[in-house]
Amino acid sequence: MRLKVQLVVITCLRIILNTMHRMVYPFLTIFARGLGVDVTAISFALAGRNVASIFSPVFAPVADQRGRKFGMLAGAVTFTAGVGLVAIHPSLITLTIALILAVTSKSLFDPAIQAYFGDRVAYEQRGTALAITEMSWSLAFIAGVPLMGFLIAHFGWSAPFPVLTALGISMFVVVWWMIPRNDPHHEPNNDTLKNVRIVLASIPALAGISIALWSSAANEMVNIVFGVWLSDSFGLQIAALAGASAVIGLAELSGEGLVALVTDRIGKPRAVMIGLSANILASVLLPFIGRTEIGALIGLFFFYISFEYMVVSQLPMMNEVVPHARATTMAFNLVGFGIGRSLGALLSTLVYQRFGFLTVTMVAAVFNIFAMIALAEMQQKIIILPRFITWFKRTFPRG
């Protein structure tokens, strides 16, 4: 099957995974009400999901060991098992398990498909290819989540899960049929620890993971509190906040489209630098242009489109850092994003309550500056990480 067709099909399959991942936030209170529990109980389930995401390198090397197809199939099985549990027996326990298995499935599926296309698409065109697959993230928010909302509104809080189970089974069948069993582009490597050591010994890889960490921390600083800020500033109600979410979804899709159009032409490192610079500018300007409702929405659009452009441009760059362990590298990149989101989530509400939204955006700007330093390190324009590693080894010798 032609690679372009596979790109489109894989993107559609990822919409299924990302819909499960993203639908929890807007329907948090509905899930809690349906289960007869407090919202805090659902937040603990989400915390469990976030912890599980940090352990993605445990699972992702499967695609380096057993092949890209096996990694995709394992992701589809894990996803289907999770949502199937809720479909059979809706409860807080099964929902928690489903959330954990859903993020585990992404830890298996996403690095496998990124490695699959990384093996087949030349680096000069890889930004466009991966940008197309990343459109599944915004399309899940624009199309998948509203569909789940329709099912919930008409059939109850657990209605999406039988549908997601059927889609998960379809995903397994499609991958089994579409992805070739014999893969001449990849030679399986059964030494998992060797792959991990190679990634952790690579200064460019560690610097790239740092970009993911700091940039996602910056994004999460704003992401957590923007709804509270809009509500406090303008008294916006649920419908208006949903409109703000639609603006974010459109911004994400636009950012991914920009990557597909221009990143390969101007170069991945330059694109990442442009995205980080634009996000810093958006962070600084947001509290000032956000003094009106329209200004706030414009500022949020600028903030999210610049972040998405940077993130999706960073993926093909990371995809080529350690070619012999692509899936393992991309898994550690996911860990960087997960740790960054956790850091931003921990700080955002505390900073907002004590110092206000202006300080939140300034901290986000500082985190992005750290990401720019990591980008310079990745390009070997500065040398910080090697010196730190040397100092650490001297200060804390083994034994």
In a domain, 191, yes or no: no
- pTM for the whole thing? 0.75
Please indicate, yes or no, if residue 193 is contained in any of the structural domains.
no
Neighbouring residues of 23: CB distance < 8 A, sequence distance ≥ 6: 144, 145, 148, 149, 160
Same domain, 226 and 318: yes
Whether residue 241 sits in one domain with residue 113: no
- Most confident residue range from 163-167, 256-260, 347-351: 163-167
Claim to verify: residue 47 and residue 114 sit in the same structural domain = yes
Q: Tell me: the pLDDT tens digits for 10-69?
A: 999 999 999 998 887 767 778 888 988 886 777 677 767 767 777 766 766 676 667 788
Mean predicted confidence (pLDDT) in 366-394: 77
- Decide which of 185, 220, 248 is a domain's last residue: 185
- Residues of the domain holding 30: 3-185
CA dihedral in degrees (314, 315, 319, 321; nearest 10)? 20
Looking at the domain assignment, is residue 130 inside a domain? yes
Q: Are 359 and 349 in contact (CB under 8 A)?
A: no
Query: What is residue 383's predicted lDDT score, i.e. its pLDDT?
Result: 60
Do residues 60 and 137 share a domain?
yes
In this structure, the answer to whether residues 335 and 222 fall within a common structural domain is: yes
Task: Please enumerate in sequence order all residues whose Cβ is within 8 A of that of 199, keeping only pairs 6 or more positions apart, or say none.
Answer: 205, 322, 325, 328, 329, 332
Residue 203 shares a structural domain with residue 176: no
The pLDDT tens digits for 10-25 are 999 999 999 998 887 7
Is the pLDDT at 373 greater than 90? The verdict is yes
- Predicted local distance difference test score (pLDDT) of residue 305: 93
Structure confidence at residue 385 (pLDDT): 58
Regarding whether 256 and 334 lie in a shared domain, the answer is yes
Examine the domain organization and report whether 206 and 165 are in the same domain.
Answer: no
Residue 192 forms part of a structural domain: no
Whether residues 69 and 137 share a domain: the answer is yes
Alpha carbon distances (Å) from 206 to 26, 177, 274, 335, 385 = 34, 36, 21, 11, 8
Q: Is residue 399 part of a domain?
A: no
If one compares 388 and 175, the residue with the highest pLDDT of the two is 175
What domain count does the chain have?
Answer: 2
Nearest alpha carbon to residue 139 among 7, 316, 8, 18: 18
Q: Which domain CATH number covers 272?
A: 1.20.1250.20
Residue ending a domain, choose from 153, 185, 217: 185
Q: pLDDT (tens digit, 9 = 90+) per residue, 99-110?
A: 989 988 988 898
Average pLDDT over residues 334-361: 86
Distances (CA, A) of 393 to 1, 198, 313, 398: 50, 18, 33, 8
- Is the same domain home to 33 and 132? yes
Q: Are residues 229 and 314 in the same domain?
A: yes
368 assigned to some structural domain: yes
- In this prediction, residues 150-175 reach a mean pLDDT of 93
Do 349 and 288 lie in one domain? The reply is yes
Q: For 126-141, what is each residue's pLDDT tens digit?
A: 888 888 888 898 888 8
Is the pLDDT score of 71 beyond 80?
yes
330 belongs to a structural domain: yes
